[in-house]
Amino acid sequence: MTAYVFPGQGAQFSGMGKELYETNPKAKELFDKANEILGFDITKIMFEGTDEELKQTNVTQPAIFLHSVILASTIEDFKPDMVAGHSLGEFSALVAAGALSFEDGLKLVAKRAAAMQKACEIVPSTMAAVLNLSDEKVEEVCHQVHKDTHEVVVPANYNCPGQLVISGSVEGINVACEKMKEAGAKRALVLQVGGAFHSPFMEPAREELAEAIENTTFNTPSCPIYQNVNAKPSSDVNHIKLNLIHQLTAPVKWTQSVQHMVADGATKFVECGPGKVLQGLVKKIAPEAETAGV
């Protein structure tokens, strides 16, 4: 069985989607439509923008979504047995599987990006990558730091065994990084991100996005989607919407999602979108699985 997986923020690069635009009429049409929907020339930034321009949340998220979704739309006989997306990639997966229209998916992603940007500006917050420490130990240290300092520190991205990203207040993350190293982490590295994604700091964004999701039409997907919040497959529209709403403040259970997909019969994972990050993570989670890009 083949699972298609869709990347999240961080996979962007200058020139992304340019070849698709120039060689595929269907892709060109969708990119042009996206400029119209967003009200600015996102294709110009995607094709020619600097790394700095591409790093802005309101550009990054729609750009990765567009590259992923338009790429999927050009695949002949696109019939995944299951899909999943990492954080933002969950929206790409839902559009690719027919649960959301291209237009509605893009509008939700633009709304999500703007709401997250706003939430980041309310209180300074950040994230850090913890390497070579068990998930249980990372969870334990986060809990202890919160108990001792009353600062917000939570697991945010379960990327693969030995790689967990934590999220929280600047002070809390700095203390947690020291404690992680003391506990045996190979590295605990503060990331250059706008704020604490997938943490309680995203609550204002979650509320804003919840309203938009509730007012958007969702359809039953063509195959199950394994969602970040619980790592379980769903085809039920109401469950999908609920999980999508909670995604912003809950951790991304990527390791668990891939494990569940393998347990349910996935033998091949195809990454659809910019970069090869997810192929690398899948290899670490399920070395026996075949990986490929589009």
Cβ burial of 287 (10 Å; 0-12, 13-18, 19+) is exposed
Q: Is residue 66 part of a domain?
A: yes
User: Residue 257: what residue type?
Assistant: S
> Residue 10: is its pLDDT beyond 90?
no
Cβ burial of 207 (10 Å; 0-12, 13-18, 19+) is middle
Q: Does one domain contain both 175 and 234?
A: no
pLDDT in tens, 31-44: 999 999 999 999 99
> Residue 55: is its pLDDT beyond 90?
no
Beta bridge partners of 271: 5, 293
Q: Does one domain contain both 168 and 252?
A: no
Q: Does one domain contain both 262 and 239?
A: yes
Domain boundary among 156, 190, 224: 190
SS3 readout for 224-291: CEECCCCCCEECCHHHHHHHHHHCCCCCECHHHHHHHHHHCCCCEEEECCCCCHHHHHHHHHCCCCEE
Q: Give the separation between CA 129 and CA 121, rounded to whole angstroms.
A: 22
Q: What is the pLDDT of residue 193?
A: 82
Q: Is 67 a catalytic residue?
A: no
- Residue 57 confidence class, pLDDT cut points 50, 70, 90: confident
Q: What are phi and psi of 86, to 5 degrees?
A: -90, 110
Domain boundary among 161, 190, 219: 190
pLDDT, mean of residues 124-138: 96
Q: Does one domain contain both 102 and 205?
A: yes
Q: Is residue 195 part of a domain?
A: no
Q: Is 134 a catalytic residue?
A: no
Q: Does one domain contain both 108 and 13?
A: yes
> Residue 11: is its pLDDT beyond 90?
no
Q: Does one domain contain both 115 and 147?
A: no
Domain boundary among 190, 210, 238: 190
Instruction: Out of 68, 87, 167, 169, pick the active-site residue.
Output: 87
Instruction: Out of 67, 86, 198, 260, pick the active-site residue.
Output: 198
pLDDT in tens, 240-249: 999 999 999 9
Q: Does one domain contain both 56 and 150?
A: no
pLDDT in tens, 96-123: 999 999 999 999 999 999 999 999 999 8
pLDDT, mean of residues 171-195: 94
> Residue 185: is its pLDDT beyond 90?
yes
The distance of Cα 37 from the centroid of its chain, to the nearest Å, equals: 22
The stretches of 9-50 forming alpha helices (DSSP H) are: 18-23, 25-38, 42-48
Q: Which domain holds residue 8?
A: 2-121+200-293
Q: Give the separation between CA 164 and CA 187, rounded to whole angstroms.
A: 11
Q: What is the pLDDT of residue 244?
A: 96
pLDDT, mean of residues 204-230: 97
pLDDT, mean of residues 5-12: 92
Q: What is the pLDDT of residue 194?
A: 81
Q: Does one domain contain both 90 and 230?
A: yes
Q: Does one domain contain both 103 and 208?
A: yes
Q: For the chain, how many structural domains are there in total?
A: 2
